[in-house]
């Protein structure tokens, strides 16, 4: 390199570096750093807190000592159910929750001592349908560049074990249901991450292969190629989850375990006999999202479980109106699909969701003042977990004091496998509720006739519940 070239390069580097720092008149200079440091006084109180934090976690130290250790497990109105399910290390809360809604009805109607649906059975077809959704999405967009936002979203999200209620209505409506003992859990159904990693890797590979097909390729040939790819996915699922049954024999037993009836079923005939509901048209999803206009119908584009299934739609409502419908459903002994931001102020040991569980403000010496709308806008909160809403405790005036959620984290987790949620926590961290239309006032149902506001699949508010 000659001397002139060297000097020229130095000038470019100097100008570039100067430009970077010139942009940053908002950087932290030494004078600003000294002022920032004055916020920490290193008082005896600061030292004590720092020592405690070094020895234990924030949440442990923030436990509110004013909270009673006595758990109030009384509820004025409750849906009858028995037994707690366990999703183990998987993101299938949405599927457990939906099936638990129907499970409660079956246990009550037939007075069973216990009963569970096979989550593994429906999960198998959920994964197969999502694989097809991805591959067909790639086919539909294969002439768009890889930098297109929809194409990027597809390849970032080829498959997930999470989901929401339209997955319940579409998958169960198409494939039916079976009792748990007919297709039991496996290691991979309980621990989905390794299987999911391989499935996503294979799907991305297949996706690129589909995009590399000639532009003029015949659709028949493309579909044949996709079918072969789905055969590979089916085999991977069967190896990990087992192959779903097409027919089975099941004995219904009474509360004492005595056999009542033995019949042969298909998954669809079992669904017709024991669930028998129009899941697509018989239910409505309600949302409380203060960042968007209330009394409007919204639709999430492409974010569904089946290519030929339904995008999920919801009515956005004030939280008090949602509560009134939830109370009506519980009073009629009907559980509901409920989703929320479960981690916020959760005391796992007690099994409570309470804004007073932790006093972070006193520990950190500052306030955390955002409301629900601001938390959503700043990506600080969103729905992350689905559970079954089964009870409410009303005061003498009929106002809710607390609610009970049947969880799918096992019988030893929380309060006897449940979470007790205060009404104030409901206001702040509840997001979605799905209930039968008969509990929804006619003026709210009329909103379903609106042309929905379409929102993109990548809107962070609509990540799958896990």
Report residue 418: phi and psi, to 5°: -115, 170
Sequence-separated (6 or more) residues with CB below 8 Å from residue 149: 456, 458
Structure tokens at 332: 């009629």
* Dist CA 383 CA 458 (whole Å): 14
Q: Are 355 and 425 in contact (CB under 8 A)?
A: yes
Helix locations, 71-175, DSSP H? 93-110, 119-140, 149-156, 165-167, 173-175
CA trace torsion 134, 382, 324, 371 (10° rounding): -150
Structure tokens at 155: 């390849």
CA 18 to mean position of chain CA atoms = 47
CA 449 to mean position of chain CA atoms = 27
* Long-range contact pairs involving 65-74 (C-beta distance under 8 Å, separation at least 24): 66/356, 67/354, 67/356, 67/357, 69/350, 71/350, 71/351, 71/352, 71/415, 71/420, 72/393, 72/402, 72/420, 73/415, 73/416, 73/420, 74/393
CA torsion sign, 327 to 275 to 313 to 431?
Answer: positive
* Dist CA 126 CA 162 (whole Å): 10
Q: Are 442 and 360 in contact (CB under 8 A)?
A: no
**Residue whose structure tokens are 């390199």:** 1
Q: What is the DSSP letter of 38?
A: T
Of 90, 196, 107, 151, the closest CA to residue 458 belongs to 151
Which residues carry out catalysis? 93, 385, 407
Of 139, 171, 148, 175, the closest CA to residue 304 belongs to 171
Cβ-based neighbour number of residue 454 at 10 Å: 12
């Amino acid at each position: 390199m000659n001397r002139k070239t060297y000097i020229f390069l130095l000038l470019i580097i100097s100008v570039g570096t100067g430009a970077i720092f010139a942009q940053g008149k908002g950087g932290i200079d030494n004078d600003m750093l000294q002022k920032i440091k004055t916020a920490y006084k290193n008082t005896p109180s600061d030292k004590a807190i720092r020592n405690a934090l070094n020895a234990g976690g924030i949440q442990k130290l923030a436990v509110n000592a004013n909270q009673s250790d006595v758990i109030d497990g009384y509820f004025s109105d409750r849906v009858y159910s028995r037994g707690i399910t366990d999703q183990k290390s998987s993101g299938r809360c949405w599927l457990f929750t939906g099936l638990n809604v129907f499970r409660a009805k079956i246990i009550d109607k037939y007075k069973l001592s216990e009963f569970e649906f096979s989550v593994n059975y429906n999960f198998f077809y959920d994964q197969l349908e999502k694989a097809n959704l991805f591959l067909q999405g790639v086919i539909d967009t294969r002439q768009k560049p890889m930098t297109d936002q929809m194409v990027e979203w597809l390849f970032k999200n080829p498959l997930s074990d999470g989901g929401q209620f339209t997955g319940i209505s579409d998958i169960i409506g198409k494939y039916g249901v079976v009792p748990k003992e007919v297709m039991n859990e496996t290691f991979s159904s309980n621990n989905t991450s390794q299987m999911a990693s391989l499935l996503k890797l294979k799907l991305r590979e297949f996706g690129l292969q589909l995009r590399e097909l000639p532009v003029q390729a015949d659709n028949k040939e493309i579909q044949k190629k996709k079918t072969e790819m789905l055969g590979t996915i089916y085999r991977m699922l069967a190896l990990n989850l087992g192959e779903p049954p097409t027919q089975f024999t099941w004995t219904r037993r009474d509360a004492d375990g005595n056999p009542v009836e033995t019949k042969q079923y298909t998954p669809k005939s079992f669904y017709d006999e024991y669930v028998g509901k129009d899941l697509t048209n018989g239910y409505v999803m309600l949302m409380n999202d203060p960042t968007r206009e209330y009394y409007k119908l919204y639709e999430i584009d492409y974010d569904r479980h089946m290519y030929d299934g339904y995008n999920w739609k919801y009515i956005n409502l004030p939280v008090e109106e949602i509560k009134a419908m939830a109370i009506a459903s519980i009073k009629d002994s009907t559980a509901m699909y409920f989703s929320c931001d479960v981690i916020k102020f959760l005391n796992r040991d007690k099994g409570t969701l309470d804004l007073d569980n932790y006093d972070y403000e006193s520990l950190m010496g500052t306030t955390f003042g955002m409301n629900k709308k601001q938390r959503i806008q700043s990506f600080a909160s969103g729905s992350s977990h689905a559970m079954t809403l089964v009870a409410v405790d009303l005061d003498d005036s009929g106002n809710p004091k607390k609610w009970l959620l049947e969880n799918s984290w096992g019988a030893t987790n929380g309060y006897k496998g449940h979470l007790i949620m205060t009404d104030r926590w409901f206001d702040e961290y509840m997001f979605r509720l799905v209930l039968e239309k008969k509990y929804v006032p006619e003026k709210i149902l009329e909103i379903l006739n609106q042309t929905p506001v379409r929102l993109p699949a990548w809107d962070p508010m609509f990540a799958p519940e896990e």
